[in-house]
A = this chain, B = another copy of it.
Amino acid sequence: MPPVQTNRAEAFSDGVLAIAITLLILEISVPDTQGSHLLRALGHQWPSYAAYVVSFLTIGIMWVNHHALFQRIKVVDRGLLYVNLLLLLAIAFVPFPTALLAQYVRRPSGGHVAAVIYCASLLLVGLGFVALWTYLRNHPELRTADFSDAQVAAALRRTWRGPVAYVVALLLSLVSAYAALAICGAVAIYFVVPYRTDDVTDALT
């Protein structure tokens, strides 16, 4: 009884992604103002809100793409579960660099370091998706019947654009943390749109 159905792997992944995305709010602490204006104290926290929205949407878009990817998977084997586990390891780590960035983005020295770590974390997530698609390319027996080798190759080429952009963002963050974050945001928006070429259509259009 080798490979098994995908439902429990999907349920576990859904759980980890749902928890990682919901834990983000715990990183925003209620300000403790003694006498001063609450509104000003909350305004001072704006990087926390910005980081919350960016990371929530990034993880959320990852979930949509994870969902679309698993639509192409017929059965899972042990290897695929481990590759998926490494991807989840990277995604579950995202709340930490998000909190780091929110706290340090406006400081002169720490801001660059925090941005580098944020970009590096997203780079690991992007490489996790590359690993999952690569595994799927090398194991056609796990794929649904309507998913050809050419389609997998096209999807993999597109997935590689994430890590490449994150390397650019990482290098750029040495110059400007905000410019690096703009690239990270742009990558998220790029993956919102499903891929569609002459012979390749996303599982979820």
Residues of A within 8 A of B (CB): 1-4, 8-12, 14-26, 28, 30, 33, 37-39, 42, 52-53, 56-57, 60-61, 63-64, 67-68, 70-71, 77-78, 81-82, 85, 88-89, 92-93, 95-96, 99-100, 103-104, 109-110, 113-114, 117, 144, 146, 192, 194, 201-205
Contact = CB atoms under 8 A, between A and B. Distances in A.
22 contacts: A1-B71, A1-B201, A1-B203, A2-B201, A2-B205, A8-B10, A10-B11, A11-B14, A16-B22, A20-B22, A22-B23, A26-B26, A26-B95, A28-B96, A37-B113, A38-B114, A39-B113, A42-B113, A42-B117, A52-B93, A78-B205, A81-B204
**SS class, residues of chain A in contact with chain B:** helix
Nearest to A103: B30
A18 B21 contact: no
A155 B99 CA distance: 39
Nearest to A56: B89
Contacts of A201: 1-2
A12, A24, A117, A192: most-surrounded residue (chain B CB, <10 A): A12
Nearest to A38: B110
B8 A14 contact: yes
A74 to B, nearest CB: 12
Given A1-B146, A11-B14, A194 B78 contact: yes
